[in-house]
Amino acid sequence: MYDKQALIELIKETALQFGDFTLASGKKATFYLDCRKVTLDSRGAKLIGAGMLELLGDKKPHLVGGMAIGADPITAAILTLAGVQGKQLRGVMVRKEPKQHGTGKYVEGPYAAGEELVIVEDVVTTGGSSLLAIERCEAAGLKVKRVFAIVDRLEGGREAFAAKGYELTTLLTIKDFGITQ
């Protein structure tokens, strides 16, 4: 079992901030989880990689990945730990903007049309960022059924995924930080 309590403590210590914030969706918030502070810390990478591999269980997809930049270190952590454990897994990164030269692609990585992908994300608020990542991955021929995130802010993301037939599973919710709204 990955150490859930250690992840909660690390996020509290390094990523959870209170104040006035504008979110990616344009919503206003009184707290913010700067998860890059955790996913780009070796302690966080190890905990999140282990937690997400646990969520995958035996039902391994071909690929994991999601919207840059939040998803990128999560993908790297999962792949590295899978490699250390001798497990076969590949990843993708989804660009916010298409590459302006070379291949001009939105979705980067060693994938093939028809393969299964689990979307990963740091924070889910409305779910809009990951739904866009899903749209781009499906346009590239990938099959998406599940979305994994570190924290669910419980602001409608789960319902937005469900409405389109995707299941959200998260390591934590804001309730793990004593936040109720």
Ligand X SMILES: O=P(O)(O)OC[C@H]1O[C@H](OP(=O)(O)OP(=O)(O)O)[C@H](O)[C@@H]1O
Ligand Y SMILES: O=C(O)c1cc(=O)[nH]c(=O)[nH]1
Task: Indicate the annotated binding residues for 5-phospho-alpha-D-ribose 1-diphosphate.
Answer: 95-96, 99, 101, 121-129
Q: Contacting ligand X (CB under 6 A), which of 38, 67, 79, 168?
A: 67
Shortest Å, Cβ 119 to ligand Y = 16
Q: Contacting ligand X (CB under 6 A), which of 56, 76, 94, 123?
A: 123
Left, alpha or beta for 104 (phi > 0: left; psi -120 to 50: alpha)?
left
Token couple for 13: 């210590």
How many residues touch ligand X (CB under 6 A)?
16
* Per-residue binding letters, 24-63, with ligand Y (x by CB under 6 A): xx------xx-x----------------------------
The helix (run of H) or strand (run of E) holding residue 51 is helix 42-56
Contact of 32 with 21, CB cutoff 8 Å = yes
User: Per rule CB under 6 A, is residue 128 in the interface with ligand X?
Assistant: yes
Burial of 84 (0-12, 13-18, 19+ CB in 10 A): exposed
- Residue whose CB is less far from ligand Y, 135 or 179: 179
- Residue whose CB is less far from ligand X, 112 or 163: 163
The helix (run of H) or strand (run of E) holding residue 117 is strand 116-124
